[in-house]
Structure 1
Amino acid sequence: MNTAVDFTALKSRQMATWASGDYAVIGTTLQIVGEQLAEACDLRCDETVLDVAAGNGNATLAAARRGCRVTSTDYVSTLLERGEERARAERLPVSFRTADAEALPFAEASFDAVLSTFGVMFTPNQDQAAAELARVCRPGGRIGLANWTPEGFIGQLFKTLGRHLPPPPGVQPPVLWGVESHLHELFADSAARIEVTRRHFNFRYRSAAHFIEVFRTWYGPVHKAFAALPAEWAPALEQDMVELLESLNRAGPDSLVVPSEYLEVVITRR
């Protein structure tokens, strides 16, 4: 299937998507995920840590707060700038480098731990990205991932977007990284052990309308979806998002709290 996909063209479109809006507005709300992943990976002071597809640096900051020597990477340089601002504000020594998750510019076995929170799962060539994570992680080291599941809210949100704006043919959906059996396939040759914990992150907004306003303005995939649709089609997408949000809201009519399932993954490198 992958041989028919023009990954170069697809990646170029993806970079434009993630550079649109300002993911950092959303990303900062997800900080707790990076903290929990750092604990799950049992990061130690002075360990070398690579954050892949780091966005604005949630896992980066979590590792640096634990005394690790951190390199933070993303292929969108403006997101790295936001991470650098955060690290500078906390006086955390972090190295930032623009890099493609499918072609990491580091030698084999360079890092004690390799992390990615809701980042590497969006790479178009999943096999290549997984191989790169494993390549730069030392034997006995850990690969720590946080990946949205297909059944969770974000997985359902992407399914909703796909009904209105179908994804490119032949491309594996990102939420496959949230399927345990798929992870075993991706890391079959490199993992000594794969530990998976199902967790939930709670999206907290005033209302469904507030959530849509924020995501439509700042979150690249939603921002681009609305921009690509003819104006007369946008209300239908908005209504479908409202229905999804309200069906999962556990806060009652006066607020919005929507749990979104994700997999917290710790892979021990063979």
Structure 2
Amino acid sequence: MNSNKALWEKGDFTRIANTMRESGETLVQRLGITNGLKVLDLGCGDGTTALPAAKLGAEVLGVDIASNLVQAGNRRAREHGFVNCSFQEGDASDLHQLPDQAFDLVVSIFGAMFASNPFAVAKEQVRVTRPGGRIVMGNWIPNDPTLVAQILKISSSYMPPPPEGFVSPMTWGVESHVVERFAGAGIPAEKISFTRDTFTFKYPGAPSVFVDEFKKYYGPTMNAFEAAEKNGRAADLQKELEDLFNNQNTSLHAGSTLIPATFLRVTIAL
């Protein structure tokens, strides 16, 4: 099996996505989506940004590598009565099932950054976007002090070294890498803009309980705990993550968690 597919079919990312809904909707509301706009949500999960886009009247296709998340997305679309939103399996590195220039807007929020071939990801996003359309990516930033970058950094420190040739998904959070990848797809640097943005995780429980959600349901953290168990270091990993979540919790209410995480928002004008 594709290792990326295995990673995101592990656990149940919908449990984490539930804590990201409000920020997903806020982001989509800033994208200038109009009725009938054709939108591709790439690496869509179960629809954290796809469903808000459909709510604004867009014709939305969500594509994700994880079959369980595709099923969850289609289920959520039905539950909300969105006939203008559907989900299907696909790999952001190879969207052969999608025609050229089919979408007005391609969105990928913490999705395509995890695909295995970043140059192919850039080319495929450009290929399926019509001239005059836009691509918007949200990418976590390496070594950023906020939540997700630190979760991934801590988790990787408990893992064996990655295979030769592995390209970290976090390199999508480096502006020069983004420019280089889209240059390979024929997009000049002046067509690319960057801004720092924030997603806030909102969980109705204490930070230590939220850590357990990641431990049980978030593929990268699950893998880290499996590796840490083998080395007798699971307690160390647990403590590091609990310290991180407690220190970054901004909630004013005991027993609840509110943690902002910074990301790089990339906009490409075709």
Shared fold per TM-score greater than 0.5: yes
Describe how 1:171-190 pairs up with structure 2 within 5 A. 171-188=166-183, 189-190=186-187
Q: How many residues align?
A: 259
1:117 pairs with 2:109: yes
Deviation at 1:207, TM superposition (A): 3.0
Separation of aligned partners in 1, 2:22 and 2:251: 20
1:248 pairs with 2:238: no
Q: 2:120 aligns with which of 102, 124, 128?
A: 128
Deviations 1:135-156 (A, max 9, x none): 1001110111121122032112
Aligned-residue CA RMSD (Å): 2.0
SS of the residue 1:214 aligns to: helix
Deviation at 1:253, TM superposition (A): 9.4
1:52 pairs with 2:51: no
Matching residue's letter, 1:77: S
Describe how 1:41-190 pairs up with structure 2 within 5 A. 41-93=31-83, 94-104=85-95, 105-150=97-142, 151=144, 152-165=146-159, 166-188=161-183, 189-190=186-187
Matching residue's letter, 2:187: S
Deviation at 1:267, TM superposition (A): 1.3
SS of the residue 1:72 aligns to: strand
Deviation at 1:96, TM superposition (A): 2.2
Structure 2 portions without partners, runs of 5+: none
Separation of aligned partners in 2, 1:190 and 1:39: 26
Query: Does the 8 Å contact 1:20/1:224 carry over to 2?
Result: no
Q: Which residue of 2 aligns with 1:6?
A: none
Deviation at 1:168, TM superposition (A): 3.1
SS of the residue 1:190 aligns to: coil
Structure 1 portions without partners, runs of 5+: 1-8
SS of the residue 2:133 aligns to: strand
Query: Does the 8 Å contact 2:38/2:104 carry over to 1?
Result: yes
Matching residue's letter, 2:177: H
Separation of aligned partners in 2, 1:160 and 1:132: 31
Query: Does the 8 Å contact 1:33/1:117 carry over to 2?
Result: no
Q: Which residue of 2 aligns with 1:264?
A: 265
TM-score, scaled to structure 2: 0.88
Query: Does the 8 Å contact 2:43/2:64 carry over to 1?
Result: yes
Deviations 1:172-225 (A, max 9, x none): 221222222222222122256223221222223433321221111111111222
Query: Does the 8 Å contact 1:80/1:96 carry over to 2?
Result: yes
Query: Does the 8 Å contact 1:41/1:142 carry over to 2?
Result: no
SS of the residue 2:19 aligns to: helix
Deviation at 1:64, TM superposition (A): 0.8
Label 1:214 to 1:44 Cα distance change in 2 as closer, same or farther (>3 A): same
Separation of aligned partners in 2, 1:25 and 1:233: 25
Separation of aligned partners in 1, 2:247 and 2:174: 23
For structure 1, which segment, 246-255 or 104-113, has the greater mean C-alpha deviation from structure 2 after superposition?
Answer: 246-255
Separation of aligned partners in 1, 2:197 and 2:55: 22
Percent identical: 35
Deviation at 1:34, TM superposition (A): 3.0
Deviation at 1:228, TM superposition (A): 3.4
Deviation at 1:14, TM superposition (A): 2.0
Q: Which residue of 2 aligns with 1:198?
A: 196
Separation of aligned partners in 1, 2:176 and 2:113: 15
Matching residue's letter, 1:16: A
Separation of aligned partners in 2, 1:29 and 1:78: 18
Looking at secondary structure, tell me which structure has more helix per residue. 1
SS of the residue 2:124 aligns to: helix
Deviations 1:29-55 (A, max 9, x none): 222343233333312211111111111
Deviation at 1:252, TM superposition (A): 6.9
SS of the residue 1:187 aligns to: helix
